[in-house]
Each structure stands twice: as C-alpha cells, then as structure tokens.
Amino acid sequence: MKLTRSFNRSLWAFHFNSGSCNGCEIEIVAVITPRYDPERFGIKLVGTPRHADVLIITGPVVKKMKDRLLRVYAQIPEPKVVMCVGTCGISGGVFYDSYNLEGPVDEVIPVDVYVPGCPPRPEAIIHGVVTALTKLERLQEGKP
C-alpha cells in the first residue's frame, strides 16, 4: 500500500479516552472550535474508528479500558497514526504509581507522536499534528 500525500491532507481523527481527567478532552474539543479550527487542514473528528485515520488517546490506560483500546486500534483501517495527547498518557504523569493502571499508552499500542502538556494548549495539539505530518512525509520519502 502506497501512502500518498492525500492521506496527510485528510486526517480523520477518533478520540479515545483511556482514563484521562477530562482536561485533554476539553482541549481536544477546543481545538475543533473556531479559534483553532483544524478542518482547514482537512482534520475532523469522526464518531467511529472505522472512519478514522488518526487515533488520539488521552489518559493513562486503565485496566478496564485496555482491551477496548486494543479493539479500537484494531478497528481502525490501515494505514493509521496514533497520537498520545497529554502527559499522563505519555508517562503516567501525576498518576505515576497505581494498582489499576496498565501503564503509559505506548506499553499497550505503538505511539507515533507524543504531545506533552497537562493538558497541552490547543496549539500544542496542532503542533502535534504538524509533527505527525513531518513524520509521514519523511516516511513517504523513504527515510527511516
């Protein structure tokens, strides 16, 4: 399967909350509102993983959510990009030790782009998209 540039310009995102505090959720919704509006880059939030190209995950993975996260990840058709938004999904952050967390997101599924911040500002999330795009472009040029 050849990844073309049109993939980069039409990223549909599915948002998955794997146990976050809602802070990142709000900022993700804030991103789609008029002040930031990523639809100008062709990005939109979709309601089902089947339509998605990007999986946006927030929060450390709670045990109960792990299976669902894996299932959602499997449901997204190839090719796909995984973005982990917010410190606690990246490394646990403030929830650094617990008995009911499965670990940072990258212990469960591979992550392509991390967006640190607690929560990241909306622009930081857009910057995360830009980072993902540069990674895609690099891969499309055949560089590792």
Taking CA atoms, 79 is separated from 7, 14, 74, 138, 139, in Å, by 9, 14, 11, 15, 12
Binding mask 9-48 for other proteins (x = CB under 8 A): xx-x---xxxxxxxxxxxx-xx--xxxxx-xxxx---xxx
Residue 111 CB, nearest approach to other proteins (Å): 8
Which of positions 78-137 make contact with other proteins (CB under 8 A)? 78-82, 87-88, 90-104, 106-110, 112-121, 123-124, 126-128, 130-131, 133-137
Among 53, 54, 55, 56, binds other proteins (CB under 8 A): 53
Interface with other proteins includes 56 (CB under 8 A)?
no
Please say whether the beta carbons of 19 and 61 come within 8 A: yes
